[in-house]
Amino acid sequence: MKPKYELMSPAGNFPMLAAAINAGADAVYFGLNVFSMRANSKNFNIDNLNEMREMCNESERKVKLFLTLNTIIYPEEIPKLEETIIAVKDKVDAIICWDNAVIMLCNKHKVPFFVSTQASISNKESAQFYKMLGAKRAVLARELNLAQIKEISEIIEIECFAHGAMCVAVSGRCFMSQMTSEKSANRGECHQNCRRSYTITDSSGNELQIENSRVMSAKDLCTLSLIEDMKDAGIYSYKIEGRGRDPRYVDVVTRAYRKALDNKLTPEETQEGIAELEKVFNRQFSTGFYLGKPTGEDFSTAENNEATEIKLFIGKVFNYYQKISVAEIKLNEDIKIGDQLVIIGKKTGLKRLYIDSMQVENNDVKEASKGESVGIQIDGIRKNDEVYIVRNKEKKLK
C-alpha cells in the first residue's frame, strides 16, 4: 500500500543507506560513479545494486531506490548512458533526470523516471509537458512558494526538498566553479565558491568592509515547522539533501522528519526537533522560498559547520560477541561512563548509546584510557564497525 507521504533520504555509501533505512526513510536517492551531481562523493557502482536492493527489501518499509542521472550529458556519452540505463533496469524504482536524452532512453527501455529540480519546473504547463513525456513525478524548482506548488500538484505527483543545503543559484546551473577551476557544478564537480569569505575591492584598490563576508552562502533549508502547510500544498515526497554528509546526519535528519510526517507536531515538539537538527551539519536554517522570497537574513554567517555537536573517531569494534551482545573496542581516546557513542558500519548503519557500564579485563570500570581494550554491551553491531564519541562543540567567540 502506498504511504500517504514519502520521506526520501540521501545515500552516498552503504552506511548511509543502512542509516536511512533504520531511521524510517520510505525511499533513498543515490548516484553511481557516472552522471552524478555529486561526482566528488564516493557513490555506488552498478555491481552494488543487488546488495542495495536486498537491504531495502529486508526493511519493514520496503524502501525504494531512486537513481540520480541528472548531470548534463554530452554527445559522446550517449552510448555509456544507454548502457547504464539498461544495466539498472529492474534494479531501481525510478531514475531522477532532466536531460532529454535520459528521458528518451528511459522511455525506450521502459524505466520509470522523475524530472529533477534541475529542470526548474515552476508552472502547470511545464509539469503537463513532462507528464506527457512520461514523467511519474516532478521535483519542483526550489524558487516556488507553497501556493504555487499547490497549483502544480493538481497536474503531477510532487517531490520537494525539505531539508539541507541550498545553492546560491537555487535550482542549479551555477558556473562559478567552472570559471575559477574548470570544475563544472553541472557535472557534479562544484568547488562551492559561494561558501567562501570574500573581500570587496574597488578599481582603486580600496576594500569595503562588510558585516557578513559570506555574501553568497545560503543558509540550509529547514522545513520542520512547515510540514503541515507542505502537506496542504499537495507535496507527496519530502526530500532530504545531503549525499555528501555522513550516516549520523542521515540518521538524525531522517528521524526528525519521520516524526513530523507521521504526527502533527506541537510547537514544543517542533523546537525540540530543530534542536536535534542543529546537532548535525548545518549552515544555520532558513525556510527557503516556501513562505516568500528570501531576504538578506537567509544568507549564512557560518564559517562552515554550525553543528552543536561533533563526533570523534575513537576506534573500531575489534571483536563482537553476539551471544552476549558485547563489543570489544580498542580505544584511540579516553572514554567514561555517561559518554555518548555512535557506531557506524556498512550493514549496521548507525547505532547510538550512552555508556552506562563497561569492562576492562572483565572488571567494571568508570573510565577507560587510550590504548586499552574495553567491553561495552550493545545490540546489533558488527566486527570492524567504526566507533565515535559525540561531544558538544565549543562555540567560537566572535
Per residue in 179-231, pLDDT tens? Answer: 677 676 665 666 667 666 777 788 888 887 666 656 677 899 999 999 999 99
Which residue segment(s) compose the domain that 335 sits in? Answer: 309-392
Regarding whether 317 and 192 lie in a shared domain, the answer is no
| DSSP labels, 218-261 | BPEEE-GGGHHHHHHTT--EEEE--TTS-HHHHHHHHHHHHHHH
pLDDT at 207: 81
Q: Compute the distance between CA of residue 87 and CA of residue 32 in angstroms, rounded to an integer.
A: 12
- CA dist 388 to 189, 293, 361, 383, Å? 29, 40, 22, 15
Answer yes or no: do 351 and 277 share one domain: no
* Segment 260-281, tens digit of pLDDT: 999 999 999 999 999 999 999 9
Verify that 217 and 93 share a domain, yes or no. Answer: yes
Q: Which residue has the cell 496542504?
A: 232
Task: Please count the other Cβ atoms lying within 10 Å of the Cβ belonging to residue 180.
Answer: 10
Last residue of a domain, which of 258, 273, 298? Answer: 298
Which CATH number is 327's domain given? 2.40.30.10
Considering the domain architecture, whether residues 166 and 130 belong to the same structural domain is answered as yes
Q: Kindly tell me the sign of the dihedral angle through the C-alpha atoms of 329, 333, 336, 341.
A: negative
- Identify whether residues 334 and 375 lie together within a single domain: yes
Are 348 and 382 spatial neighbours (Cβ–Cβ below 8 Å)?
yes
Same domain for 268 and 361, yes or no, is no
Domain end among 240, 273, 298: 298
DSSP labels, 105-126: HHHHTT--EEE-GGG---SHHH
Whether residue 319 is found in the same domain as residue 292: no
Residues 194, 52 share a domain: yes
| 152 lies in some domain | yes
All three cell numbers of 89? 533496469
Q: In the prediction, which pLDDT does 235 show?
A: 98
Asked whether residue 397 is domain-assigned, the answer is: no
As given in the structure block, the three cell numbers for residue 290 are: 516556501
pLDDT digits (tens, 9 = 90+) for 340-381: 999 999 999 999 999 999 999 999 999 999 999 999 999 999
Contacts of 317 (CB under 8 A, 6+ apart): 327, 328, 329, 343, 345, 381, 382, 383, 384, 385, 386, 387
**Backbone Cα Rg of the chain:** 22
Global pTM?
0.89
Does a structural domain hold residue 303?
no
Q: Which of 241, 265, 298 is the last residue of a domain?
A: 298
- C-alpha distances in angstroms, 139 versus 98, 136, 163, 232? 10, 10, 14, 17
For residue 389, the cross-strand partners are 312, 341
Task: Specify whether 145 is located in the same domain as 214.
Answer: yes
CA atoms within 13 A on the CB side of 92: 31
Is residue 194 located within the same domain as residue 338? no
- Total count of domains within the chain: 2
Give the pLDDT score at 398: 40
Cα(299)–Cα(198) distance, integer angstroms? 14
Q: pLDDT confidence of 396, banded at 50, 70, 90? A: very low
> Per-residue pLDDT tens for 293-348?
888 788 787 767 899 999 999 999 999 999 999 999 999 999 999 999 999 999 99
